């Protein structure tokens, strides 16, 4: 549901998958955020980026790192 002057960018949440790990990317007030759950632990990661492409890139790099380390 749209509130006040909220844009579609602020309301959208894109769910993606990289190497079998789900992550979400969404924008709000000029920033883009990403979130993922570490599949081998009971924790996750969240980050912020200036644009959607960078947020997706950072999420994918984080997934590759957790799959390599753990």
**Block means of pLDDT (10 residues each) for the chain, length 70 residues?**
46 84 93 88 90 96 86
Q: Cα torsion for 43, 39, 54, 7, to the nearest 10°?
A: -70
Q: State the residue range of the domain holding 27.
A: 8-69
pLDDT at 70: 59
Q: Specify the number of domains making up the chain.
A: 1
Pairing of strands 21-28, 44-49: unpaired
pTM for the full model? 0.75
pLDDT at 39: 72
pLDDT at 24: 95
Q: Is residue 1 part of a domain?
A: no
Q: Is residue 2 part of a domain?
A: no
Structure tokens, 60: 């994918």
DSSP state of 9: H
d(CA 27, CA 37): 19
Q: Is residue 42 part of a domain?
A: yes
d(CA 47, CA 70): 20
Q: Is residue 3 part of a domain?
A: no
């Amino acid at each position: 549901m749209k509130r006040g002057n909220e844009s579609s960018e602020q309301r959208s949440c894109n769910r993606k998958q990289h190497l079998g790990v789900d992550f979400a990317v969404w924008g709000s007030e000029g920033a883009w955020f990403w979130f993922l759950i570490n599949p081998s632990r009971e924790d996750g990661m969240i980050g912020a980026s200036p644009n959607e492409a960078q947020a997706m890139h950072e999420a994918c790099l984080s997934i590759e790192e957790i799959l390599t380390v753990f």
